[in-house]
């Protein structure tokens, strides 16, 4: 276990040390102490590391992650796992706005609640939120899955493309072109797998599925004039 204490090491040196593991390394377990809400912690990783951040973080924690597993023992500020490519990011507390924004792949698990714009413009990432999500979540979501064990705020999935949304609780309102869709066996199978990988024992049968009505993003000749 490698330990970096941010009371002694600068943020830049800490990120550089983690990024230096990109390629082949046998130093896979890392612990970051005293994060004290710092921004851009453990960003740009591209190695199969297992990083634990011991406390709350600021903006953009684990941004652009590839292959690494980053666990935050606390809450995170805006933009956690923004543009993640692969790997896993686990937040034990709450996440602020735009968690997992534009993510291309990997798994983001939030054990608490996520604020507004969770999964905005997601492009293939899987996001599982054990609690609730705020308004405008999955706005323009293109690909991937957003699973919400609690409730969703206003305008869920506004202008959504092909991402799949699963919500167990209430949805305050659906955004433009987002509709409830039939939950078919393949969806239940995919959902069960996501819940299991996120450590949730929620029953997939208790969820509803939402997605695109596909009326908004096809060119409609009747709209030309």
Partner 1 sequence: MCGIVGLFLKDARLQPELGGLLTDMLVTMTDRGPDSAGIAIYGPGRPGRAKLTVQSDDMAAFDGLQARLAAATGTDVSITRKDTHAVIEAPRDAAPDLRAALPAGLRVMSAGERIEIYKEVGLPRDVARRFAVPEMSGTHGIGHTRMATESAVTTMGAHPFSTGPDQCLVHNGSLSNHNALRRRLRRDGVHIETENDTEVGAAYLTWRMGQGATLGGALEQGLRDLDGFYTFVVGTADGFGVLRDPIACKPAVMAETERYVAFGSEYRALVNLPDIARARIWEPEPATVYFWSH
Q: Which two tokens stand for residue 75?
A: 């809450």
For the CB of residue 59, give the shortest distance to partner 1 in the complex, in Å: 8
3-state secondary structure of 108: strand
**What gap in Å lies between CA 208 and CA 26, rounded to an integer?**
43
**What gap in Å lies between CA 124 and CA 105, rounded to an integer?**
5
Decide whether 126 or 158 has the Cβ nearer to partner 1.
158
Q: Which two tokens stand for residue 25?
A: 């390394």
For the CB of residue 34, give the shortest distance to partner 1 in the complex, in Å: 9
For the CB of residue 83, give the shortest distance to partner 1 in the complex, in Å: 19
Contacts of 139 (CB under 8 A, 6+ apart): 117, 120, 121, 155, 157, 158, 159, 160, 175
**Integer-rounded Cα radius of gyration of the chain:** 18
Decide whether 76 or 190 has the Cβ nearer to partner 1.
76
For the CB of residue 35, give the shortest distance to partner 1 in the complex, in Å: 9
Decide whether 78 or 204 has the Cβ nearer to partner 1.
78
For the CB of residue 43, give the shortest distance to partner 1 in the complex, in Å: 17
Decide whether 61 or 70 has the Cβ nearer to partner 1.
61
> Given the rule CB under 8 A, which residues bind partner 1?
36-38, 56-59, 75, 77-78, 93-94, 96-97, 115-116, 134-135
Decide whether 49 or 110 has the Cβ nearer to partner 1.
110
How many Cβ atoms sit within 10 Å of the Cβ of residue 69?
20
């Amino acid at each position: 276990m490698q330990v970096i204490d941010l009371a002694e090491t600068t943020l830049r040196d800490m990120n550089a040390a983690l990024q230096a593991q990109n390629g082949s390394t046998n130093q896979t377990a890392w612990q970051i102490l005293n994060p004290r809400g710092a921004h851009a912690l453990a960003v740009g990783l591209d190695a199969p590391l297992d990083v634990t951040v011991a406390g709350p973080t600021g903006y953009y924690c684990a941004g652009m992650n590839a292959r690494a597993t980053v666990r935050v023992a606390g809450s995170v500020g805006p933009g956690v796992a923004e543009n993640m490519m692969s790997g896993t990011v686990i937040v034990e507390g709450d996440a602020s706005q735009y968690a997992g924004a534009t993510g291309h792949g990997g798994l983001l698990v939030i054990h608490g609640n996520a604020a507004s714009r969770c999964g905005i413009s997601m492009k293939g990432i899987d996001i599982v939120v054990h609690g609730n999500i705020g308004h405008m979540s999955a706005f323009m979501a293109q690909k991937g899955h957003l699973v919400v064990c609690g409730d969703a705020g206003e305008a869920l999935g506004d202008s959504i493309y092909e991402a799949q949304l699963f919500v167990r609780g209430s949805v305050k309102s659906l955004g433009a072109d987002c509709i409830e869709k039939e939950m078919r066996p393949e969806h239940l199978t995919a959902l069960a797998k996501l819940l299991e990988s996120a450590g949730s024992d929620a029953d997939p049968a208790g969820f509803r599925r939402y997605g695109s009505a596909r009326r908004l993003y096809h060119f409609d000749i009747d709209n030309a004039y």
